[in-house]
Amino acid sequence: MCQSRHARRINGGMTKITVEEAVGTRLAHDITEIRPGEFKGPSFRRGHKVQEQDVCRLMRLGKRHLYVLDLGADQVHEDDAVVELATALAGPGITFGRKPSEGKLQLTAAYTGLLKINTDALVAFNMIADVMCAAMHSNVPVSRGQIVAGTRAIPLVIDRSVLDRAVALAREQAPVFSVKYYPLKKIRLLITGNEVYDGLIEDRFESIVNQKLTAFGASLLETVFLPDDARRIADTVKRFAASDTDMIITTGGMSVDPDDVTRHGIRQAGVDTLYYGSAVLPGAMFQLAYRGEMPIVGIPACALYHQTTIFDLVLPRLLAGERLDDRDLARFAVGGLCLDCPVCRYPACPMGKTGC
């Protein structure tokens, strides 16, 4: 480190020197250059050895003084600290680069799946001074390589005790971030309704369901059309369940009309639990039942007329192997209102973002 009468020790493990005195020293942090409308980024990287020819450029960037690191045993540079933070925060299915920029690292999905966040742990993490982490919402589908969170050490030099406390919290509450992959699913579809069965109207549900499943790498093994007959519906559900099926999806017969008997047929087939109704619009007349571990999903007619419904919110979670109940369906109330935008932007919108 260059020493002179102008050098001054300051708090935070650094010594302040003039730019002219910095020749021959190495930068303690990136020097950012901003050209409005053109460029924002590091003009000099941390560790760069200052040369004579750099002095004028540094001054043009508004630098009259630079800082040389003089770390104590209880101090950690931001770039080294953030690697420790990211390592503690990243659970299964989460990865990150090993080259921080200005004390920041991005966490990304290692594969396509369902993002899970321990939100209570994340809040507690952000209550610790001098560290932070911002993230997407939990329970949303993510693709391989997608950025899901960003973390950083806020000061250039962080106290080791503070860093250790943040790392310990993240490890104790692990995983704070993880991605559940979508196992291959054997799915069968049951479409009910006299008008469709009798050929009076053309079915549109099969293509809608298949398109949504394909987006997650799943597909239909079988589709059956039935009239509004509770006994036949029950018999088909039993056959599906005995045919190595992971999930049954039903459409039609979900409203309160007397001839809408689909959910009654599902009850007759023998289920452990059946939840009818959700706190989502569109999708209030949604049904979710379980026969053992196999979910039986009942999609209301709104899915024919709306691009995004309750089905889009529950499908990725079910494909990831999660078991939902009536409380989960109620928690969708926050973020469960579709705004019917002229151009649907889902999932880049508030729909389904419960924050939990």
- Cβ-contact 82, 131 below 8 angstroms: no
Q: What's the rounded Cα separation, in Å, for the pair 18 and 21? A: 5
What's the predicted TM-score (pTM) here? 0.84
Q: Residue 114 is which amino acid?
A: L
Q: Can you tell me which residue has the tokens 């045993």? A: 73
pLDDT at 297: 97
pLDDT at 5: 40
Neighbour count for residue 172 (Cβ, 10 Å): 11
8-69 has CATH 3.90.105.10 classification: yes
- Cβ-contact 270, 306 below 8 angstroms: no
Q: What's the rounded Cα separation, in Å, for the pair 117 and 194? A: 44
SS3 154: coil
Please report the beta strands in 84-184, taking only residues with DSSP state E, as ranges in sequence order: 94-96, 104-109, 113-117, 131-135, 141-142, 147-153, 157-159, 177-181
First to last CA, the chain: 49
Q: Which residues pair with 105 in a beta bridge?
A: 151
Please state which CATH class domain 75-181 belongs to: alpha beta
Backbone angles phi, psi at 140, to 5 degrees: -115, 145
pLDDT, one tens digit for every residue, the chain (356 residues): 334 445 555 555 667 888 888 787 777 777 888 888 888 878 887 777 788 888 888 888 888 877 777 677 899 999 999 999 999 999 999 999 988 987 899 999 999 999 999 999 999 999 999 999 999 999 999 999 999 999 999 998 899 999 999 999 999 999 999 999 999 889 999 999 999 999 999 999 999 999 999 999 998 999 999 999 999 999 999 999 999 999 999 998 787 666 689 999 999 999 999 999 999 999 999 999 999 999 999 999 999 999 999 999 999 999 999 999 999 999 999 999 999 999 999 988 999 987 54
DSSP assigned state of 344: -
- Cβ-contact 310, 332 below 8 angstroms: yes
Domain spans in the chain, listed from the N-terminal domain onward: 8-69, 75-181, 186-331
Q: What's the rounded Cα separation, in Å, for the pair 72 and 70? A: 7
Q: Can you tell me which residue has the tokens 């919110």? A: 313
Residue 126, CA distances (Å) to 55, 166, 353 in order: 38, 9, 20
- Cβ-contact 75, 160 below 8 angstroms: yes
CATH number corresponding to 186-331: 3.40.980.10
pLDDT at 10: 53
pLDDT at 3: 40
Beta-carbon contacts of residue 345 (< 8 Å; ≥ 6 apart) = none
Q: What's the rounded Cα separation, in Å, for the pair 297 and 304? A: 16
